[in-house]
């Protein structure tokens, strides 16, 4: 049993601010509770004798054994809410649902009030929902501690929503359909309890089969990923995350910062957490229904059985648009279908048993294809005819599904003739849709969830690195009073075992000459200045400088920097070994810190066209080896790295290791706000970090 089990299954609930004033929230809550709750409802209101037939206590402390009150629902005005919660906490009440609004959502006074509220909740270790919540529901005990106007019917979906209005809309919608719920919570401002807490709770709840959520943000991305990963092994989590773009995004100094914004952090974080993300409310509930009603398929191959050619083709098209594939039947299946079906029928997938098919013909066709080892799921598509009863067909489908254990969705295409059949199917947890694309899409989520369950989470590797040296480099920047670091900080990468070309940053032409002589070949020279973000843009990079030109190039580079910005701080010139770009590919490896999810790694095609091509992928760090490898698979230019057009493939393992090493660096140092290694040149012999740029937050050091 989870920590929140009494919140959802209380025996005594006190309404603090209970009233019978017409049209008030306090009245709605009290009356909703009285309507269906199995336990005791207690009214607290010092200004009232009674409310809706309940005696009103002055204080929750005046109630008999107040410590046995399981939940206090707070509906008093905001200026007295915190005191009321303090009293409830002091009385030993553990669960508090704060309906009252006027906190963080309303400006600075409200935000201050919310801080007070949080302090009180922490003092008493309260399980606090809200504030600014519509309330909570739990159907097994008839708990409706909300001010909505609909009580949910019983079911196995638990649902959380950051929008209270959306809860009421969903309840209204669900009342029309056969969608039932176990628990519902309106999260409100999430001062204490957030999505992670409810996911953890429902993960332990045997009565919750599917967790649904409507979220606008995630309070703690790291914790969310950790909790959800575990829960989703047994209980699917389906989420709508509304795309609230972050106005707070500051002008990024790195390519990674520009490309890896918060929307991508959510996308990556929710994926890494093992949640199924959906775009629409319809998908949210379609997926919930099929995930709770049908078993998971063993493979991705789908069989279609239909009495109508056109809809059969539509279904086939939908399969083409999904990640599923049409099953290829075994010979025995084809032989049998040939025997039992009329000559005009199509025995190949999609199986068309033609327009005059009664339910019995569906039965025999279904039984045959479901017995085929190549069939992992099926969709039954039927149009109404004079010889077909949808109700009979529904019974056939239910029986075949239950006997075979193969997941099925149906498309009974019709209106009024569907009714009775629909009930039979719903009862058995078989989803039915008018549109075959929805049926296929729903079956596809079973495949997706099976993949999530099959994932193995590996711990991120911990390489042997020189953390102290890295810290010194970051601190020396602080001493220079700069937040921007460039190639002068290349040793940072070296400290974490990320290969860099030979070279150094020097301040005089003769020192430059000495380095070039040491390298003993043509070199690359770059201007080093915190005021110059993109060196090549101002002619600050000279590639292939021969030994006799090193001194002159040094002078040229400094002049170009001065021409660009007269008072630019020039730290010196970097003299660097040439990297063979002919056999290599310029990639980018970077990090941007997301307010919710923390360090977000980006990997993609790099070089100077990086933001033009935008071929990259992101992951929340730290990443494990398989996750780092996935990043390579993700990008569209992966074939380029793997040796397209006769090129030699690059050293993939070295790339994967470098991604993990950077992951470790940015996880170890929260002070690194954003970072680009662009290019990270990948060659058949390994990788070389050729350029570096990062921004640090000195306060985090």
Interacting residue ranges for Mg ion, rule: CB under 5 A: 678, 691
Closest CA to 540 of 549, 522, 553: 553
Q: Can you spell out the DSSP letters for 222-291? A: HHHHHHHHHHTTTS-EEEEE-----TTPPPPSSHHHHHS-HHHHHHHHHHHTTPEEESSHHHHHHHHHHH
Q: Which is nearer to Mg ion, 334 or 568 (CB)?
A: 568
Q: CB 544 → ligand ADP: shortest distance, Å?
A: 8
Residue 263: CB minimum distance to ligand ADP, A: 26
CA end-to-end span of the chain, whole Å?
41
Whose Cβ is closer to ligand ADP: residue 190's or residue 526's?
526
Provide, rounded to whole angstroms, the least separation between the CB of residue 527 and ligand ADP: 9
Stretch that binds ligand ADP, among 72-80, 241-249, 530-538, 661-669 (CB under 6 A): 530-538
387 CB neighbour count, 10 Å cutoff: 11
By CB under 6 A, tell whether 504 contacts ligand ADP: no
Report if residue 484 touches ligand ADP, rule: CB under 6 A: no
Considering the complex, state which of residue 443 and residue 524 has its C-beta at the smaller distance from ligand ADP. Answer: 524
Find the part of the chain contacting ligand ADP (CB under 6 A) among 235-243, 339-347, 358-366, 575-583: 575-583
Binding at 576: pick from ligand ADP, Mg ion, none (beta carbon under 5-8 Å per type): ligand ADP
Q: Work out how close the CB of 692 gets to ligand ADP at its nearest, in angstroms, rounded to a whole number.
A: 8
Tokens at 499, concatenated:
């290969």
For the range 552-555, what are the long-range contacts, defined as Cβ-Cβ under 8 Å and sequence gap of 24 or more?
553/512, 553/525, 554/508, 554/509, 554/512, 554/525, 555/509
Q: With b meaning 16 or more CB within 10 Å and e meaning fewer, what string describes 655-681?
A: bbbbbbbbbbbbbbbebbbbbbbbbbb
- Closest CB 587 distance from ligand ADP, rounded Å: 10
CB nearer to Mg ion: pick between 384 and 606: 606
**Contact flag: residue 313 with ligand ADP (CB under 6 A):** no
Cα gap 92→322, rounded to integer Å: 53
Which of 622, 652, 695 lies closest to 250 in space, CA to CA?
695
The backbone torsions φ and ψ at residue 399, rounded to the nearest 5 degrees and listed phi first, read -65, -45
- Minimum CB distance to Mg ion smaller for 539 or for 547: 539
| Least distance from Mg ion to the Cβ atom of residue 200, Å | 43
Query: CB under 5 to 8 A by kind: which of ligand ADP, Mg ion, none does 114 bind?
Result: none
Q: Is 488 exposed, middle or buried (0-12, 13-18, 19+ CB in 10 A)?
A: buried
Q: Which of Mg ion, ligand ADP, none does residue 541 bind (CB under 5 to 8 Å by kind)?
A: ligand ADP
Rounded to a whole number of angstroms, the minimum distance from the CB of residue 658 to ligand ADP is: 16
- Output the smallest distance, CB 511 to ligand ADP, in A: 18
Task: Say whether residue 526 binds ligand ADP (CB under 6 A).
Answer: yes
User: How far is the C-alpha of 416 from the C-alpha of 555, rounded, in Å?
Assistant: 85
679 binds ligand ADP (CB under 6 A): yes
State how far the Cα of 694 lies from the Cα of 675, in Å rounded to an integer.
4
Q: Which is nearer to Mg ion, 141 or 568 (CB)?
A: 568
**Options 190, 535, 593, 661; binder of ligand ADP; rule CB under 6 A:** 535
Q: How far is the CB of 678 from Mg ion (least distance, A)?
A: 4
Please name which of 531, 545, 427, 431 lies closest in space to residue 485, comparing C-alpha atoms: 531
Nearer to Mg ion, 674 or 691 (CB): 691
In the list 61, 389, 536, 637, the residue contacting ligand ADP (rule: CB under 6 A) is: 536
Q: Which does 596 bind (CB under 5 to 8 A by kind): ligand ADP, Mg ion, none?
A: none
Among 608, 611, 626, 636, which residue interacts with ligand ADP (rule: CB under 6 A)? 608
Site stretch for ligand ADP (CB under 6 A), options 71-79, 128-136, 279-287, 534-542: 534-542
Contacts of 639 (CB under 8 A, 6+ apart): none
Q: Between β-strands 127-129 and 71-74, what pairing exists: parallel, antiparallel or unpaired?
A: unpaired
Among 530, 604, 607, 622, binds ligand ADP (CB under 6 A): 607
Residue range at the interface with ligand ADP (CB under 6 A); choices 177-185, 375-383, 578-586, 594-602:
578-586
Q: Judged by CB under 6 A, does residue 677 bind ligand ADP?
A: no
Chain position carrying tokens 């989590």:
237
Residue of minimal CB distance from Mg ion? 691
The least CB distance from residue 579 to Mg ion, in Å, is 12
The CA distance from 237 to 287, in Å, is 10
Per-residue contact flags (x/-) with ligand ADP for residues 435 to 474, judged by CB under 6 A: ----------------------------------------
Burial class (CB in 10 A: 0-12, 13-18, 19+), 234: exposed
184: enclosing H helix or E strand: strand 181-186
Q: CB under 5 to 8 A by kind: which of Mg ion, ligand ADP, none does 690 bind?
A: ligand ADP
Question: Is residue 581 a contact point for ligand ADP (CB under 6 A)?
Answer: yes
Residues 412, 331: Cα–Cα separation, whole Å: 29
Closer by beta carbon to Mg ion, 488 or else 691? 691
**Which stretches of 540-648 are assigned E, i.e. beta strand?**
541-545, 572-577, 585-594, 598-605, 616-620
Of 514, 578, 613, 638, the one binding ligand ADP (CB under 6 A) is 578
Tell me whether residue 205 or residue 586 sits nearer to Mg ion (CB atom).
Answer: 586
Please identify which residue in 501, 509, 670, 684 interacts with ligand ADP, judged by CB under 6 A: 501
Question: CB under 5 to 8 A by kind: which of ligand ADP, Mg ion, none does 578 bind?
Answer: ligand ADP
Please give the residues from 543 up to 572 whose contact with ligand ADP meets the rule CB under 6 A: 543
> Which residues contact residue 137 at a Cβ distance below 8 angstroms, ignoring those fewer than 6 apart?
143, 144, 145, 146, 151, 152, 181, 183, 184, 185
Matching residue, tokens 């007295």: 80
> Could you say whether residue 579 binds ligand ADP (CB under 6 A)?
yes
The C-alpha atoms of residue 224 and residue 207 are separated, in whole angstroms, by 22
Alpha-carbon torsion angle 587, 590, 594, 596, nearest 10: 80
**Member of 576, 596, 658, 660 binding ligand ADP (CB under 6 A):** 576
Continuous segment of H or E residues that includes residue 634: helix 625-634
Cβ of residue 538: shortest distance to Mg ion, in angstroms? 13
| E-state strands within 391-441 | 408-412
Point out which span in 129-137, 529-537, 624-632, 657-665 binds ligand ADP (CB under 6 A). 529-537
**Rounded to an integer, what distance in angstroms lies between the CA atom of residue 310 and that of residue 352?**
10
Give the number of residues in contact with ligand ADP, rule: CB under 6 A. Answer: 19
Q: What residues line the site for ligand ADP (CB under 6 A)? A: 501, 524, 526, 534-536, 541, 543, 576, 578-579, 581, 586, 607-608, 678-679, 690-691
């Amino acid at each position: 049993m989870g920590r929140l089990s009494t919140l959802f299954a209380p025996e005594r609930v006190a309404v603090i601010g209970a009233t019978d004033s017409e049209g008030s929230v306090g009245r709605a809550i009290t009356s909703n509770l009285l309507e269906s709750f199995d336990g005791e409802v207690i009214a607290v209101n010092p200004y009232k004798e009674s409310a809706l037939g309940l005696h009103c206590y002055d204080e929750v402390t005046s109630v008999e054994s107040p410590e046995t009150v399981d939940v206090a629902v707070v509906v008093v005005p905001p200026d007295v809410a915190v005191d009321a919660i303090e009293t409830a906490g002091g009385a030993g009440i553990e669960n508090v649902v704060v309906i009252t609004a006027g906190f963080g959502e309303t400006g600075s006074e409200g935000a201050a009030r919310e801080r007070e509220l949080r302090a009180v909740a922490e003092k008493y270790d309260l399980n606090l929902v809200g504030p600014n919540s519509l309330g909570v529901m739990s159907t097994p005990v008839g708990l409706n501690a909300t001010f909505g106007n609909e009580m949910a019917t019983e079911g196995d979906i638990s649902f959380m929503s950051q929008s209270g209005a959306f809860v009421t809309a969903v309840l209204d919608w669900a009342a029309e359909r056969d969608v039932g719920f176990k628990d519902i919570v309106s999260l409100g401002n999430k001062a204490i309890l957030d999505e992670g807490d409810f996911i953890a709770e429902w993960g332990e709840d045997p009565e919750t089969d599917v967790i649904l959520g409507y979220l606008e943000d995630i309070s703690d991305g790291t914790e969310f990923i950790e909790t959800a990963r575990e829960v989703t092994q047994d209980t699917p989590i389906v989420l709508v995350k509304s795309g609230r773009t972050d106005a707070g995004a500051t002008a990024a100094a790195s390519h990674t910062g520009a490309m890896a914004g918060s929307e991508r952090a959510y996308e990556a974080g929710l994926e890494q957490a093992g949640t199924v993300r959906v775009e629409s409310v319809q998908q949210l509930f379609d997926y919930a229904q099929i995930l709770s009603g049908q078993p998971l398929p063993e493979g991705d191959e789908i069989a279609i059985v239909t009495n109508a050619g056109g809809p059969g083709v539509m279904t086939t098209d939908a399969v083409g648009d999904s990640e599923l594939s049409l099953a290829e039947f075994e010979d025995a299946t084809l032989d049998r279908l040939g025997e039992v079906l009329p000559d005009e029928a199509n025995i190949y997938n999609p199986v068309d048993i033609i327009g005059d098919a009664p339910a019995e013909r569906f039965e025999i066709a279904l039984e045959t294809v479901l017995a085929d080892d190549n069939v992992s799921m099926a969709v039954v598509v039927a149009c109404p005819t004079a010889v077909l009863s949808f109700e009979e067909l529904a019974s056939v489908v239910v029986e075949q599904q239950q006997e075979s254990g193969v997941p099925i969705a149906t498309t009974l295409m019709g209106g009024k003739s569907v009714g009775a059949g629909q009930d039979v199917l719903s009862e058995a947890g078989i989803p039915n849709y008018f549109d075959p694309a929805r049926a296929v899409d729903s079956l596809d989520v079973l495949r997706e969830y099976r993949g999530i369950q099959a994932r193995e989470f590996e711990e991120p590797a911990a390489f042997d690195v020189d953390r102290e040296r890295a810290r010194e480099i970051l601190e020396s920047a602080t001493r220079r009073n700069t937040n921007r670091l460039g190639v002068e900080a290349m040793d940072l990468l070296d400290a974490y075992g990320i290969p860099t070309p030979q070279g150094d940053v020097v301040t005089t032409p003769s020192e430059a000459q000495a380095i070039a002589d040491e390298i003993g070949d043509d070199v690359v020279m770059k201007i080093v200045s915190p005021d110059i973000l993109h060196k090549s843009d101002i002619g600050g990079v000279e590639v292939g400088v021969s030994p006799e030109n090193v001194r002159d190039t040094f002078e040229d580079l400094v002049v170009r920097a001065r021409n660009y910005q007269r008072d630019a701080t020039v730290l010196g010139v970097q003299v660097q070994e040439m990297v063979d770009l002919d056999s290599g590919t310029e990639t980018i490896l970077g990090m941007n810190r997301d307010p919710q999810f923390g360090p977000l790694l980006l990997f993609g095609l790099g070089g100077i066209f990086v933001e033009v091509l935008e071929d990259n992928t992101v992951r929340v760090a730290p990443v494990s080896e398989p996750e780092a490898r996935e990043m390579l698979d993700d990008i569209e230019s992966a074939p380029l790295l793997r040796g397209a057009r006769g090129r030699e493939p690059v050293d993939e393992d070295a790339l994967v290791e470098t991604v993990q090493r950077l992951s470790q660096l940015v996880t170890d140092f929260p002070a690194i706000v954003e970072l680009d290694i662009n290019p990270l040149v990948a060659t058949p012999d390994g990788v070389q970090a050729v350029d570096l740029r990062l921004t640090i937050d000195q306060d985090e050091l």
